[in-house]
């Protein structure tokens, strides 16, 4: 056997597995190509957009007209709109993020990841492309949420830039949560299991927060929980950016949570992805 024949398989392996040799420009190109692939999936399956398109409408109407009277008094639901709609931005981000985990899990079941394994691409680019597309879906959901809010009487007491900052903050936090759901999708056996575990996490965080009601109306132990709940920080930050008020503390807390979640879960998700593929 010649030296060239003996070393050929060894030389080919780093091209596939040697993620460290892939430059930044190539990595960005791979992310773009994979993101286009994910968007084509949505085009072929428009029903996958139903949650982003319908959930903001249903949630806004439901919470304004069910909780609005109880919180602000019967006939004063419009006053509740300015309280709950900024808070619902946090809820939208969290619910949309859950779809990343189920999507990753489904891709493994379909064998799509076997194809990616044979390609000379960074393993992280597959996951980042998922996040890019889901952030786009999240922004669409938030835009519809705000449209419903304006239709029901939402008033911006600051300015457009503050509103954009609230949307951006929600997107940053939602993107960090996606790493958690990606890790769940890579760990759980089925998409149903991913959804089940995700709901066990989502429900206490959403309803044990300041999204729907002021924590001062809650029992002491629950009020203490809301203070450390990152969704409360995001809801308070978005509310202050839309309605005015002290905003610095809540914004910094949201950014700190986002960075912390990403730093912890992103490496775990990428490592799990490498082992799984």
Distances (CA, A) of 99 to 19, 82, 84, 96, 269: 26, 28, 23, 6, 16
Nearest to 86 by CA among 250, 259, 269: 250
pLDDT the model gives residue 73: 62
Helices (H) and strands (E) in the chain, counts: 11, 0
Sequence ranges of the domains in the chain: 20-276
Distance CA 229, CA 27 (A): 35
pLDDT the model gives residue 3: 42
Helix (H) / strand (E) element for 89: namely: helix 77-110
Round to the nearest angstrom and report the end-to-end CA distance of the chain.
32
**Which tokens is 5 given?**
């024949």
Distance CA 249, CA 247 (A): 6
Residue owning tokens 């309605």: 243
How many residues in total does the chain contain? 277
Distance CA 98, CA 66 (A): 25
Distance CA 66, CA 99 (A): 27
- Indicate whether this model's pTM tops 0.75: yes
Distances (CA, A) of 163 to 87, 145, 157, 243, 261: 13, 13, 10, 9, 24
Decide: 127 and 269 in contact? Cβ < 8 Å. yes
pLDDT the model gives residue 18: 44
pLDDT the model gives residue 178: 93
What is the residue-level pLDDT of the chain in tens, covering all 277 positions? 444 444 334 333 444 444 446 677 777 888 888 888 888 878 888 887 888 889 899 989 988 888 777 776 666 677 789 999 998 988 888 888 888 888 888 877 777 776 776 777 777 888 888 899 999 999 999 999 999 999 998 999 999 999 999 999 999 999 999 999 999 988 888 888 888 888 888 888 888 898 988 888 889 899 899 988 999 999 999 999 999 888 889 999 999 999 999 999 999 998 888 887 5
User: What is the torsional sign of CA 11, 16, 21, 27?
Assistant: positive
Distance CA 154, CA 79 (A): 9
On the 0-12 / 13-18 / 19+ scale of CB atoms within 10 A, 47 is exposed
pLDDT the model gives residue 72: 64
pLDDT the model gives residue 74: 66
- Taking the CB of residue 112, how many other CB atoms lie within 10 A of it? 15
3-state SS class at 114:
helix
């Amino acid at each position: 056997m010649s030296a060239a024949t003996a070393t050929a398989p060894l030389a080919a392996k780093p091209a596939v597995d040697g993620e460290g040799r892939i430059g930044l420009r190539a990595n960005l190109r791979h992310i773009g190509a994979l993101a286009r692939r994910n968007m084509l999936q949505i085009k072929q399956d428009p029903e996958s957009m139903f949650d982003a398109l319908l959930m903001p409408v249903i949630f806004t109407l439901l919470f304004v007209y069910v909780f609005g009277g109880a919180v602000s008094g019967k006939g004063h639901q419009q006053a509740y709109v300015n309280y709950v709609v900024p808070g619902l931005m946090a809820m939208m981000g969290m619910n949309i993020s859950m779809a990343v985990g189920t999507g990753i899990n489904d891709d493994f079941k379909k064998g799509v990841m076997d194809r990616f394994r044979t390609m000379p691409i960074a393993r992280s680019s597959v996951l980042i492309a998922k996040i890019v597309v889901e952030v786009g879906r999240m922004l669409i959901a938030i835009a519809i949420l705000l449209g419903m809010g304006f239709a029901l009487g939402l008033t911006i007491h600051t300015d457009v830039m503050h509103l954009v900052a609230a949307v951006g903050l929600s997107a940053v936090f939602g993107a960090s949560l996606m790493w958690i759901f990606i890790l769940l999708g890579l760990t759980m056996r089925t998409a149903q299991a991913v959804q089940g575990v995700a709901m066990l996490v989502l429900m206490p965080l959403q309803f044990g927060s300041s999204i729907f009601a002021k924590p001062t109306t809650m029992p002491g132990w629950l009020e203490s929980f809301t203070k450390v709940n990152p969704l409360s920080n995001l809801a308070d930050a978005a509310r202050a950016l839309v309605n005015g008020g002290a905003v610095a503390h809540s914004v910094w807390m949201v950014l700190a949570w986002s960075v912390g979640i990403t730093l912890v879960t992103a490496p775990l998700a990428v490592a799990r992805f490498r082992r799984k593929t």
